[in-house]
Structure 1
Amino acid sequence: MALFSPVSNLYARIGVIAVALLLAGGVGWWLAWPRTHYARGVGFDRDQPVPFSHQHHVAGLGIDCRFCHSTVEISSDAGMPPTYTCMTCHSQIWTNAALLAPVRRSLAENHPIAWRRITDLPDYVYFNHAIHVAKGVGCASCHGAVATMPLMYKQYSLTMAFCLACHRNPGPNLRPADAIFDTEWVRGPSTPPPAALMARYGIGGRNLTECSICHR
């Protein structure tokens, strides 16, 4: 008497195929998940203590990026505005708005607002805002169309491939010095060509894809 019926062979084959598919799917997911926009936070805004709108403050009111990010030209870090910067205006307007209660509380308690980071590079990556600004890279090249964002989100992946693409061919991302912080600037017929901008900023004498440039 047979211990297993003939149909058991079919079940065994189906089981082996199912396990193989599960393993293949698991490996595929493990490889693909970190590369998705969701995992990298691309296109998703984050809840903040105060729903600050760049669209309103930058595009609407015309506030220059450097008013809040005051160290972007002199430091590796662009800087976040202290509460008294916000209160420069909001001690005069919207003084009792419930929306701004965390800002008033921060000033009264002398405790900074804990903003949630939108763009956060790994610790093993060195990035210097000042040198990029000094060499003609506009804010939008990395941060996207910030002036159109009601709530801030990451527009680009900022992966190694993203950075290397620019370091291999920086010319198209360069702007004239007076347009670096201009949120409405677009390249036009009167814009110097990329090669001319690279020469103006002294770019080209070093291999910008050397590992030590970003990994120090």
Structure 2
Amino acid sequence: MAQLFRPAANSIATASLLIGASLPVVALFSGSQITRSPANTKVKMPLDQPVPFSHKHHVKELGIDCRYCHSTVEEQANASVPASEVCMSCHSQVWTNSPMLDPVRTSYETDTPLKWNKVNVVPDFVYFDHSIHIAKGISCNNCHGAVQEMHITWKGQAFRMAWCLDCHKDPAKFMLGTDGEQLGAAEAGDDHSHDEGSVNAKTPKEQIFAIYRKIAAGEKLTPQEYRLSRGQSQLVPKDDIHKGYGEMRMEDREIKKEMLSDCYVCHN
């Protein structure tokens, strides 16, 4: 009796089973990669805006304080987008005939807000308060990337829950000051970090904005400040001195680790 199947049939059947079994895994992996890709998260992808506002020009080159435009960032949950009146406080005198600023002038004259495309959006079920992060000395660049280098603003982080929890579960490793002076004193066994005139005598929020003034003035940055200026996480090294320093700074800033791990903090 002739064979119904060719000798290769077993191999074909085995391969078909393996391919069929792997398809769900491949689909899940592909979906995960697509979800995490910049095409979906919009990380480092500038959005079209009514006016090509350059943070690099205004912050780094002109040295304008972030709070001049984002005036509510220290006091409220949201970092406000400036009204056209704020823009015109300067541009009624400089670049007065620039076609690029026509939307700003029209907005100001007609009392109609500009419609900016939001770069960073958190879900409705997440509560994020800018003011508390600023008060505790968490740099803008930790979350938003190297903003002072952006010609057109893009998203610095994907803001996944795991990324937020990395800091909330172990904040000590993010608590290195932007100047490093107190760390040097701790390593030398002599802490003068709160002496009058010390850089560390500034409040945590003042330290945040001091780095932008140094960048605008062309001053030399410490290694920690340089990392922040590049939009890299402000992590302390894994050794006892740095760990103790991070915990000490947590105590100084009254940061309660147990509270940060409570779901209610962000989902209330």
Q: Which moved more, 1:142-151 or 1:16-25?
A: 16-25
Q: Is the 8 A contact 1:141 1:173 kept in 2?
A: no
**Hey, what does 2:40 align to over in structure 1?**
39
**Hey, what does 1:214 align to over in structure 2?**
266
Structure 1 residue 97: deviation in Å?
Answer: 0.5
- Give the structure with the higher percent helix: 2
Question: Aligned partners of 2:20 and 2:109: how far apart in 1?
Answer: 61
Question: Aligned partners of 2:18 and 2:170: how far apart in 1?
Answer: 47
Query: Per-residue CA shift, 1:178-200, capped at 9, x if unaligned?
Result: 21123346437xxx932332122
Question: Aligned partners of 1:79 and 1:205: how far apart in 2?
Answer: 28
Structure 1 residue 130: deviation in Å?
Answer: 0.7
Structure 1 residue 214: deviation in Å?
Answer: 0.8
Query: Per-residue CA shift, 1:123-181, capped at 9, x if unaligned?
Result: 11110011111111111111111001111111222111111111122234344442112
**With structure 2 as the length reference, what TM-score do the two structures score?**
0.70
**Structure 1 portions without partners, runs of 5+:** none
Matches within 5 A, 1:102-141: 102-141=103-142
Q: Is the 8 A contact 1:138 1:173 kept in 2?
A: no
**Hey, what does 2:96 align to over in structure 1?**
95
Q: Is the 8 A contact 1:73 1:134 kept in 2?
A: yes
**Hey, what does 1:179 align to over in structure 2?**
207
Supply the AA of the counterpart residue of 2:84.
T
Structure 1 residue 11: deviation in Å?
Answer: 10
Structure 1 residue 105: deviation in Å?
Answer: 1.1
Q: Which moved more, 1:4-13 or 1:121-130?
A: 4-13
Count of aligned residue pairs for this structure pair: 213
Q: Which moved more, 1:146-155 or 1:178-187?
A: 178-187
Structure 1 residue 113: deviation in Å?
Answer: 0.8
Q: Which moved more, 1:38-47 or 1:72-81?
A: 38-47
Query: Per-residue CA shift, 1:11-66, capped at 9, x if unaligned?
Result: 97366665555544323222332222332111111111111100000000001010
**Hey, what does 1:193 align to over in structure 2?**
245
Structure 1 residue 10: deviation in Å?
Answer: 7.3
Aligned residue for 1:81, secondary structure, equals coil
The CA RMSD over aligned residues, in Å, is 2.6
Matches within 5 A, 1:32-71: 32-71=33-72
**Structure 2 portions without partners, runs of 5+:** 178-203, 216-220, 226-243
Q: Is the 8 A contact 2:147 2:153 kept in 1?
A: yes
Check 1:67–1:9 CA distance in 2 against 1; reply closer, same or farther (3 A cut): same
